[in-house]
Structure 1
């Protein structure tokens, strides 16, 4: 198994100037994004360690509301050693968490808010923020970014104004598709699980029009369980 130090080296960010959107997904060898409706069921020990490494490097972790519900997101937190790594580089101890929800179909009592160590941000439309944003006032900061749907470029500009230039997106597939369609994806980290799932599970990208979007392979890591960790950068 790669050490955490080796993972930090393999996925190092070279400079923090300018916004960079990094995706992180796991997929079975036959392309399934979930097993029993959850992506976490596909992962392994190194995959979980890599998730924490990528979160440690990020200014903000971005996730869609559907993924929050499906994966049971609780309070996002890196451990004490990783918080120290961040502090030594002038970062806040904990990365921010931003949840994209165009219709604000979330419950303020959800664990993603109740267990948060840092007040999350909810990214939504102007209309939803005006109509229902007050319901989340005590648990989250509501960020209005366009109508009739969330304008992702405006969202990234709003993040940059907060100093959040290194964005880690953990899904889901429709949010990945929307970012890809808007040409806002700089890097894709894919964990390829040694599993063949079959069934009707979707792919890691949903909703984007078919197009030949070229990325370059920037790194490959393997582990003792047979997982392959691929790092792609936009060409």
Structure 2
């Protein structure tokens, strides 16, 4: 990718070209996708992202999912956003091992659980999802480095996370994230809405490598700078 950041019009890119500009530079690759308002709110007044999503964001959202081999999402976000069963494997990250209700009817193998040995819902998750689809990655805290490795060993090289903010902060603290895909919608909301990160304190340098624009919405790729 070019060292010079260039603004491009999203509308000028075909679907094939859009997929190409989001190609990862290495494998395995762990990217996180978020949308926020211009003043940093990662949710609307209704407490979910749907009220700040728009058409440009949806196009890139769909393109990233089309590229991905698997989707990683925290259980709280899955419940709050009422996720439906996606077309690609969905990895639920949960210390309690509770399967969100909207995913209860998923075909066997479509939903995986990344959890811990002390999880109260471990036995129920194994029965519902199948033991081979329940990843026990730690005693009391999910080992996120091991999660990335385990998913890559399953052949899932492009790993896409859609949050939420607490999981994103934990992933950054663990050094798992390679890239942030960030949409900024041209809206201000004020108030005390969640930011993209919450919880773990992190200081992570980012390098912008792509910036797209459509109707005032900015959509960028930011690579995590690794310390030497």
TM-score normalized with structure 2 length: 0.85
Alignment partner, residue 48 of structure 2: 38
Q: How is 1:68-87 mapped onto 2 (pairs within 5 angstroms)?
A: 68-77=78-87
Alignment partner, residue 183 of structure 2: 191
Using the TM superposition, give the Cα deviation of residue 40 of structure 1 relative to its aligned residue in structure 2, in angstroms. 2.1
CA deviation profile, 1:92-112 (whole Å, cap 9, x unmatched) = xxx3211101112335xx232
Alignment partner, residue 55 of structure 1: 65
Alignment partner, residue 210 of structure 2: 219
Q: Structure 1 stretches (4+) deviating beyond 4 angstroms?
A: 115-118
Aligned positions, number: 212
> 1:29, 1:194 within 8 Å by CA — same for their partners in 2?
yes
Give the 3-state SS of the residue equivalent to 2:65 in structure 1.
helix
CA distance in 2, matches of 1:216, 1:201: 26
Alignment partner, residue 206 of structure 1: 198
Matching of residue 114 in structure 1 with residue 105 in structure 2: yes
Give the 3-state SS of the residue equivalent to 1:99 in structure 2.
strand
Q: CA RMSD in A?
A: 2.1
Alignment partner, residue 4 of structure 1: 15
Residue ranges of structure 2 left out of the alignment (5+ in a row): 1-9
Q: How is 1:100-139 mapped onto 2 (pairs within 5 angstroms)?
A: 100-107=93-100, 110-115=101-106, 119-128=110-119, 130-137=122-129
CA deviation profile, 1:3-32 (whole Å, cap 9, x unmatched) = 4234213212245x3x21101000000000
Residue ranges of structure 1 left out of the alignment (5+ in a row): 78-94
CA distance in 1, matches of 2:90, 2:165: 18
Alignment partner, residue 5 of structure 2: none
Give the 3-state SS of the residue equivalent to 2:118 in structure 1.
helix
CA deviation profile, 1:53-79 (whole Å, cap 9, x unmatched) = 1011111110000110011100102xx
TM-score normalized with structure 1 length: 0.83
